C-alpha cells in the first residue's frame, strides 16, 4: 500500500480529513507524496467510513427522489 502523510492524502483526494478520520503511524515513514519522513496514514478509523457511506447513500437517495 502506498504511504502518504495527511497533507498529501488530502491534496490527492481533494479532502480535508483530519487525524480524527485516519490513524497515523507512530513512527515517521517516507511519504510517497512529498518524499519527507512524516507520520503516514496507516488505516481509517473504524466507524467513520461507515458513517460516510451511510451519509452518501442518504444523499444519493434524496437525489433519486427528486
What does the binding site for Zn ion look like in residue numbers (CB under 5 A)?
5, 8, 31, 33-34
Report, in Å, the least distance between residue 59 CB and Zn ion.
Answer: 30
Whose Cβ is closer to Zn ion: residue 11's or residue 52's? 11
Element (H, E) at 44: strand 41-44
Whose Cβ is closer to Zn ion: residue 35's or residue 47's? 35
d(CA 17, CA 12): 12
Report, in Å, the least distance between residue 54 CB and Zn ion.
Answer: 30
Bridge partners for 18 per DSSP: none
Amino acid at each position: 500500500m502506498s504511504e502518504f502523510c495527511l497533507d498529501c492524502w488530502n491534496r490527492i483526494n481533494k479532502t480535508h480529513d483530519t487525524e480524527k478520520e485516519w490513524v497515523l503511524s507512530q513512527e515517521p515513514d517516507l511519504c510517497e507524496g512529498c518524499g519527507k519522513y512524516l507520520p503516514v496514514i496507516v488505516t481509517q478509523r473504524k466507524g467513520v467510513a461507515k458513517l460516510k457511506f451511510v451519509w452518501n447513500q442518504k444523499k444519493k437517495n434524496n437525489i433519486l427522489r427528486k
